Amino acid sequence: MKVYQELLEQAFKATRLSYAPYSRFRVGAALLTEDGAVVTGCNVENASYGLSNCAERTAVFKAVSIGKRRFKAIAVVSNRRNPVYPCGACRQVLREFNKDITIVVANRRGRVMKTSLSKLLPKSFGPEDLGRRRRG
Ligand code: THU
């Protein structure tokens, strides 16, 4: 679908801004919001390795910090041949805002693969489990 191709293209552009001097694994993400905006993110590493932040979380935190919380899809790409799917931590962060967000990845040959968060993170824990409506 064209919208996913475009999202992947934005994610690919974001890999160029990746700060990954330690892993050299550049990742870009592009988050599609319900109002049609695209918020990108890249991984940001740190000399204290454990503080590195993934591209997906960068995108989510950027979006929330500009007042956007309703997400439809996220595209993720890296500078490697194989597709990259969000790590466990990022799945949980995405889940906070949409437990069934569409996830789009591609390999370097342009093969697009679409899945959903509920497939990647089934029986997940989220705000509803705390038993109250979220306002934030
Ligand atoms: N990384 C991401 O940005 N997203 C993922 O889905 C997987 C991992 C980053 C974190 C780190 O900077 C580098 O890739 C190697 O793990």
What CATH number should be reported for the domain holding residue 48?
3.40.140.10
* Residue 38 β-bridge partners: 32
Q: List residues near ligand 1 (CB under 6 A).
A: 20, 23, 25, 27, 43, 45, 52, 54-56, 76, 84, 86-87, 90
> pLDDT at position 35, please?
97
> Helix 55-65 vs helix 2-15: angle between axes, to the nearest 10 degrees?
100
CA distance 23 to 45: 8
Tell whether the model's pLDDT for residue 132 goes beyond 70: no
Domains contained in the chain, number: 1
The two three-digit tokens of residue 73, written as one number: 């899809």
Range of the domain at 32: 1-135
**Dihedral pair phi/psi, residue 36, rounded to 5°:** 90, 5
Q: What does the DSSP 8-state code read for residue 31?
A: E
Compute the distance between CA of residue 94 and CA of residue 117 in angstroms, rounded to an integer.
8
> What are the pLDDT digits (tens) for 74-84?
999 999 999 99
pLDDT single digits (tens) 85-131: 999 999 999 999 999 999 999 987 889 999 999 999 999 999 999 98
pLDDT value at residue 133? 61
Percent of the chain with pLDDT over 90: 92
